[in-house]
Amino acid sequence: MKRDYLLRGLIFCPECGSRLAGKARYGNRFYRCNNVDKIAGSRVCNGSYIPAEQVEHAVWNAVSDSHNNPELLADQYRKQLADSQVTNEFDLNKKQITLALKRVVVQENRMTDAYRNEAIELDRYKLEMNQLSARRKTLEQQQE
């Protein structure tokens, strides 16, 4: 007998974050984590069975509440948007630090090449390398 799972593929495992799939067990409908090792065929996550009726009822109530109170939905949208912007700013900052670290490495290599090719004196080489090392340490601390 085919069963309907209204939230199939739309909800995620609270244990590992994988999608939940519909599963019939003892004549009842459940959602279960779909995280399975494809090669061994064994279950990777031991997330428990979640009664489908319970989850679907909770989702239906949340949708009904948002329909009856559109400001609730608008507030949630604004919160998600703000969270997204914070994440995007964090990711951008992280990328900028990574790029700056790569530039420092390139500059260190160029200084070393210049010293090896006798284009600069040892004193200047040490000074430049100390400045670059300090810059790298500052960037690495910001990265943490």
Mean pLDDT of 67-83: 81
- Identify whether the C-beta of residue 55 lies closer than 8 Å to the C-beta of residue 24: no
pLDDT bin (cut points 50, 70, 90) of residue 78 is confident
Sign of the torsion formed by the C-alpha atoms of 118, 120, 122 and 126 = negative
Q: What is the pLDDT of residue 14?
A: 86
Mean per-residue pLDDT for 88-94? 80
87, pLDDT greater than 80: no
What is the model's pLDDT at position 1?
60
Check if the beta carbon of residue 37 is closer than 8 Å to that of residue 44: yes
Tokens of 143: 């990265």
* Assessment of whether the complete model's pTM goes beyond 0.75: no
pLDDT number for residue 128: 93
Where are the alpha helices (H) located in the chain, listed in sequence order?
52-68, 70-116, 122-143
